[in-house]
Amino acid sequence: MKKLFTLLAAIAITANMQAGNITVKGSDTLVILAQKWAEVYMGEHKDVKIQVTGGGTGTGFAALQNQTTDLCDASRKAKPAEIANCLKAFGKRPTEYKVALDGLSVYVNPENSLKELTLDQVKDIFTGKVKNWKDVGGPDAPITVYSRENSSGTYEFFKEHVLKGSDFAASAQTMPGTAAIVQAVVKDKGAIGYGGAAYGGGSKLLAIKKDEASPAITPTEETVVNGTYPIWRHLFVYLDPAKDKGETAAYLNWIRSDEGQKYTKEVGYYPLPKNLRSN
Amino acid sequence: MEPLKKNNAPLGWMGIHRGHQARPVEWLAEKLIFLVSLSAIAMVLLIFLFVAREALPVFFGETNTALVQQIIPTAELDKHSDAEIQRYLELTPEQFKNMDKETLKTLMDVKIEALNDVPENFRNDPDAHVNTTDWKYLLKAHQWNGYDQPEYIWQPVGQIKKFNIIPLFVGTLKVTLIGLGFAVPLAVGAAIYVSQLARPRIRETVKPMIEMLSGIPSVVVGVFALIVMASVLQKIFGYQTRLNAFVAGIALGFAVIPVIFSIAEDALTSVPRAYTQAALALGASRWQTSWQIVLPAALPGVFAAAVLGFGRAIGETMIVLMVCSASVMSWNVFDSARSITTTIAAEMAEAVNGGPHYRILFMLGALLFAATFVSNMIGDFVIHRFKNKLEGKR
């Protein structure tokens, strides 16, 4: 009998520990930031265990609807089909939290004399309408376009908001990650690519003009957070509303506090504007 | 141990060919091995069934990607029959049964929101009203809105999803053929040299070194090709696109060479020594012997090596994924290419579970499976024909 009690107690303790377990899955863009948050938070709260894995925003949503993850990191908004899948799985819309800002920069080779482009010119280059740098005020050289894999949230964001839904040029080279794009841009004189500003090491970040009349703006914390730099997006966390309580809710709250937002800059993203934070 | 039965004793089923009855342990072991080999076949079959099942809706035209679809207002939920609503919301009968009114209504709201999300400039796009997973759009060039001419386009993500699979097939074949064109002469040449011409000491060093190539993970080959080879080859040939099918093909060649080499070398070595000795005795030089006697005799094996190399090349993912992956419709080797395996590997993680993109990727997998299966069958058939011819059978 005594043994049975010890066993039960042991089970109770394990169950208790599991209550402090949070699994996070989703966007590869967010994975470094999510790991940073988890690391710091676990350091402060010894009883909480947070497991972070990447795999992509779509993978995160699939896991969310299969209920194999608590939080889903997303670098884009949930698609209607994904919301529908969640509804089919747990009968509720997933709750959405904005957790950080990301500014997307346009990279060119450092030897390229070009300094700025308008949004329309960026669109024309990536859709393949403009094929030579001299048409946008650069040197007389052909343009090689580098893009992300279409599985990337960055790709989708760029397509919807910069290309306004048009297709990328068929000749656009798709690279498996932002770092690979930068690598290629640094090696290729006629190259242009896009990705998070933090990754741009070695390449040249172009200043972007909203239209012909606007000033050219380089992506910095100030210009991204106040919205004057035109290419930026929110990063999200989604979860089943039934799970938005206890440790998970506390963790989400901490992420969106001044304290949690501090870490966004360390890994190359930007903090939420004050009005979107939790405190 | 069990004593052996006398000769006239009835033989056990498993012992027939050995002239004695199999011992229980042996019998069991034999059965187990048989089961294991069966399980390998069963696995392949199950994988194919799984892939095909996920792809079936595409074959039957059950997926619909039309952007602008017929909408049932949420308030009219009760006016429609259950079957209609179930089909409209794409639910299985079981899901439908377990759902309360509230959830159904939210699902209908989501449908309407999806339509409202469509940007204004796409509402009147003629392409927004068609189902792009139709075979017509999958296989034939179509003049999409905003293009000057009919084109083959693979752009599966975006408002209007374009799923033309022809550029992927072209890309796969292009890269594979370049890879084989590079690897087969090199590997077969090396195999002839090692098995026929090299002195034993050289053979003992060259052979393991070439076979060691197969130990290099394809990711490493990919990184090497991406960073070093692409730049070097561009300098030599001076083409415009730095990362293209040519670089990918050559890098792929490195992955394929050890496969072709070791099988071809085995085939060449196993040609009976009598052939070589007879040729040399008749006054042929070593070169003549290996080129005109040994190589023809080993041709089925060499051919088998090339076919296996083809299988390896067409299925290789990582190298092509890292080096080139633009879905251009072009046979020019210095243009980029996108292979089927690359497409599946890169896009599966993000495809909405059960959505049209997901289905099409599975269909590509099934087609690739079928393609390698058929190529292996053809290879097998040709090898047998060759062998029979060489052995003087008809």
pLDDT digits (tens, 9 = 90+) for A45-98: 989 999 999 887 888 888 898 888 999 999 888 888 888 888 888 888 899 999
Per-residue tokens: B84: 């209609």
CB contact under 8 A, A184 and B106: no
For the CA atoms of A119, A121, A122, A125, what is the dihedral angle to 10 degrees? 160
Q: For residue A9, what pLDDT is reported?
A: 52
pLDDT of residue A71: 93
Which one-letter amino acid corresponds to residue B196? Answer: Q
Give residue limits of the domains in chain A: 2-101+235-276, 105-218
**Could you read off the pLDDT of A81-93 as tens digits, one per residue?**
888 888 888 888 8
Model confidence over B281-333: pLDDT tens digits?
999 999 999 999 999 988 888 988 898 899 889 988 889 988 887 888 888 88
Residue B159, chain A, CB below 8 Å: the answer is: yes
Q: Are residues B53 and B173 in the same domain?
A: no
Query: Residue A117: helix, strand or coil by DSSP?
Result: strand
Pairing between β-strand A95-108 and β-strand A204-205 as defined by DSSP bridges: antiparallel
Amino acid at B174: K
> What are A184-217's pLDDT values in tens digits?
899 888 899 998 877 777 888 899 998 888 899 9
Q: Say yes or no for a CB contact (<8 Å) between A187 and B146.
A: no
Q: Where are the alpha helices (DSSP H) in chain A?
A: 2-19, 28-44, 57-65, 80-90, 119-127, 153-161, 178-187, 221-225, 246-255, 258-266
Q: Which CATH number does the domain A105-218 belong to among 3.40.390.10, 3.40.190.10, 3.10.450.750, 3.60.130.10? A: 3.40.190.10
Cα B194 to Cα A220, B189, B266, distances in angstroms: 61, 9, 10
Q: Which residue has the higher pLDDT, B345 or A13?
A: B345
Amino acid identity of residue B48, one-letter, is F
State whether residue B104 sits within 8 Å of chain A by CB: no
| ipTM for the complex shown | 0.73
A262 burial class (0-12, 13-18, 19+ CB within 10 angstroms)? exposed
CA–CA distance, B191 with A96 (Å, rounded to integer)? 61
Rounded to the nearest angstrom, the minimum Cα separation between A176 and chain B is 7
Using 50, 70 and 90 to split pLDDT, how confident is the model at A4? Answer: low
| Residue range A96-110: mean pLDDT, rounded | 91
Q: When comparing pLDDT for A47 and B390, which is higher?
A: A47
| Structure confidence at residue A121 (pLDDT) | 93
Return the exposure string of A224-244: e unless at least 16 CB atoms fall within 10 Å of the residue's CB, then b: bbeeebbbbbbbbbbbbeebe
Residue at B269 is within a domain = yes
User: Between residues B354 and B262, which one has the greater pLDDT?
Assistant: B262
Q: Distances in Å between the alpha carbon of A221 and those of A5, A151, A210, B311? A: 57, 27, 18, 50
* Ranges A107-111, A217-221, B190-194: which has the least confidence: A217-221
Question: Which residue has 């500014």 as its token pair?
Answer: A103
Indicate the class that CATH gives domain A2-101+235-276: alpha beta
Distance CA B89, CA A253 (A): 35
Q: What is the mean pLDDT of residues A119-133?
A: 92
Instruction: Confirm whether B110 is domain-assigned.
Output: no
Q: From chain A, pick out residues whose CB is under 8 angstroms from the CB of B100.
A: 91
Domain count, chain B: 2
Q: Considering Cα of A109, then A112, then A113, then A114, what sign does the dihedral take?
A: negative
Please, what is the average pLDDT of chain B?
84
pLDDT greater than 90 at residue B278:
yes
Question: CA B115 to CA B117: how far, in whole Å?
Answer: 5
The reply to whether domains A2-101+235-276 and A105-218 share a CATH topology is: yes
pLDDT at A13: 46
Separation of alpha carbons A187 and A172, rounded Å = 16
B346 vs A61, A79, A151: nearest CB = A151
Pair of tokens at residue A273: 């504007």
Q: For residue B53, what are the domain limits?
A: 13-59
Tokens 């903090």 correspond to what residue? A271
Question: B76 — contact with chain A (CB < 8 Å)?
Answer: no
* Distance of alpha carbon B214 from alpha carbon A219, whole angstroms: 45
Least confident of A48-52, A251-255, B77-81: B77-81
Give kind and range of the element (H or E) at residue B301: helix B299-315
The whole-number pLDDT of residue A15 equals 45
Same-domain pairing of B311 and B187? yes
More confident residue, B355 or B36: B36
B53 and B174 co-located in one domain: no
Gap between the Cα atoms of B87 and A91, Å rounded = 18
State residue A97's pLDDT score: 94
Tokens of B140: 């034939």
* Whether B54 contacts chain A with CB within 8 A: no
Q: What is the tens place of the pLDDT at every residue in B38-53?
A: 999 999 899 989 988 8
Does B68 map to a domain?
no
Q: What's the CA gap between A211 and A118, in Å, rounded?
A: 6
Sign of CA dihedral A37, A42, A47, A48: positive
Note the pLDDT of residue B385.
77
DSSP A69-93: -SEEEESSPPPHHHHHHHHHHHSSP
A152, closest residue in chain B (CA to CA)? B350
Mean pLDDT score of chain A: 86
pTM value > 0.90:
no
Give the integer Cα–Cα distance in Å for A153 and A148: 9
Q: What does the pLDDT read at residue A249?
A: 92
- What pLDDT is stored for residue A73 in this prediction? 92
- Would the CB atoms of B117 and A168 count as touching at under 8 Å? no
Range in A241-250, B221-230, B322-331 with the lowest mean pLDDT: B322-331
* Distance between A2 CA and the closest CA of chain B, angstroms: 44
Calculate the CA dihedral of residues B373, B378, B381, B384 and round it to 10 degrees: -100
As a whole number of angstroms, the distance between CA B66 and CA B380 comes to: 44
Asked whether the beta carbons of residue B242 and residue A172 sit closer than 8 angstroms, the reply is no
SS3 B127: helix
Q: What share of chain A is helix, strand, coil (3-state, %, to 5)?
A: 45, 25, 35
CA–CA dist B127, B300 (Å, integer): 51
Residues of A in contact with B159 (CB under 8 A): 160, 165
Residues A251 and A260: their CA atoms lie apart, in Å, by: 9
| Residue of B344, B351, B372 lying closest to B168 (CA atoms) | B344
* 3-class DSSP assignment, residue A131: coil
Beta strand pairing call for A116-118 and A207-209:
parallel
Tokens 């194999």 -> residue: A68
Nearest-angstrom CA–CA distance, A192 and B35: 56
Residue B310, domain CATH = 1.10.3720.10
Mean pLDDT of A173-185: 85
Residue B254 confidence (pLDDT) above 80: yes
Distance (Å, whole) CA A187 – CA A191: 8
| Residue A17: per-residue pLDDT | 46
Same domain, B46 and B188: no
pLDDT, tens digit (0-9, with 9 covering 90-100), for B140-179: 888 888 788 888 989 888 888 889 999 999 999 999 999 9
What tokens does A29 get? 């863009």
DSSP B334-390: TS----HHHHHHHHGGGSPTTSHHHHHHHHHHHHHHHHHHHHHHHHHHHHHHHHHHH
Model confidence pLDDT, tens digit, residues B333-381: 888 899 999 999 888 877 777 788 889 999 999 988 888 888 888 878 8
Beta strands in chain B (DSSP E): 154-155, 162-163
Per the CB < 8 A criterion, the answer to whether A94 and A241 are in contact is yes
Q: What is the mean pLDDT of residues A226-237?
A: 90
Distance from CA of B260 to the nearest CA of A (A): 29
DSSP B253-268: HHHHHHHHHHHHHHHH
Residue type, B66: A
CB contacts of B242 in chain A (<8 Å) are 144, 184, 187-188
CA dist., res. B61 & res. B52, Å (int): 14
Q: What are the chain A neighbours of B218 within 8 Å (beta carbons)?
A: none
CA distances from residue B284 to A71, B196, B288 in whole angstroms, order as listed: 75, 14, 6
Q: Does B180 touch chain A (CB under 8 A)?
A: no
**Does pLDDT of B8 surpass 70?**
no
pLDDT value of residue B18:
54
**Cross-chain Cβ contact B114/A144 below 8 Å:** no
* Residue A102: its H or E element: strand A95-108
